[in-house]
Amino acid sequence: MQKLKVLQDAIAAGLQKGALIHEKTGATHPVEVLAAEEGRLIAVVRCLNGELEQIQTDAKVRVELPREASVILVPGRVSELRRTAEAAEVEIACDAAEDRQRRMDVRIDAECLIRLGGGEDVEETRTVNISAGGAMVVSDSRARAGEMVDVELELGGELLKCRAEVVRRGVKVNGASSRTSAALKFVGLSDQDRERIALYVLGVQAKEKANRRR
């Protein structure tokens, strides 16, 4: 049985973009897996903020390709590394790949602007959690379930702007119902923005895991 068959099947189905994570620090970089064969994978890692210094030959890393409720997880070590100005092509020695169930949302505490009905009524609120599908916010907004709102949300220093539908009010927060909470469903999100959110989620999860090890 091929040890990387799960990864090979994912690549064949077009699932190639995700995160390369430095195991020790939790540093996360966008990655696109180009090929996988027994014992290795080849991928292109995009540079974020000019920082790829931690990705060195023999560094212990893992590649995570997100699905809706799971990730394709591939641990390994960097065996070859070819850098360019904005990216690096890496070859990773790996001997296993698995499809691991995981919640693809994270709890965050971030300011979020909600603009009602495309008008001038802007509310600054706090985001409780986020996924590629939507977010839950603590909100005193007058928006009701079924209404559309414009959303501006900062993720890792980058601003995400999109439309969202208010799907529920009074969502439970920390086990208790809250009249000021609202569940938002993103509408018309581009593939690029979905990737940004998925990468952000993976990065937060990776940092939390690295911190627990310390």
State residue 87's pLDDT score.
83
Pairwise CA distance, residues 190 & 132, whole Å: 10
Angle at 204 between CA 80 and CA 36, to 5 degrees: 30
pLDDT of the residue at 178:
59
Rounded to two decimals, what is the model's pTM? 0.78
- Residue boundaries of the structural domains of the chain: 5-102, 105-196
Greatest Cα pair distance in the chain: 60
Alpha carbon distance 104, 198 (integer Å): 7
Q: Where are the beta strands (DSSP E) in 23-121?
A: 28-37, 40-46, 60-66, 70-83, 87-93, 98-101, 105-116
The fold of the 105-196 domain, in CATH, is Thrombin, subunit H (2.40.10)
**pLDDT at position 1, please?**
43
Judge whether 135 and 164 are in contact, CB under 8 Å. Answer: yes
pLDDT (tens, 9 = 90+) of the chain, 214 residues, equals: 468 999 999 999 999 999 999 988 888 889 999 999 888 999 999 876 556 677 889 999 999 999 888 999 999 999 999 887 778 899 999 989 999 998 888 877 766 777 755 556 677 777 778 888 888 887 766 677 888 888 888 777 788 888 999 888 776 555 555 567 788 899 999 988 888 888 888 888 888 888 887 6
Runs of H (alpha helix) within the chain? 5-12, 191-213
CATH number for the 5-102 domain, one of 1.20.1560.10, 1.10.10.10, 1.10.3210.10, 2.40.10.220? 2.40.10.220
Cβ neighbors of 212 (< 8 A, separation 6 or more) are: none
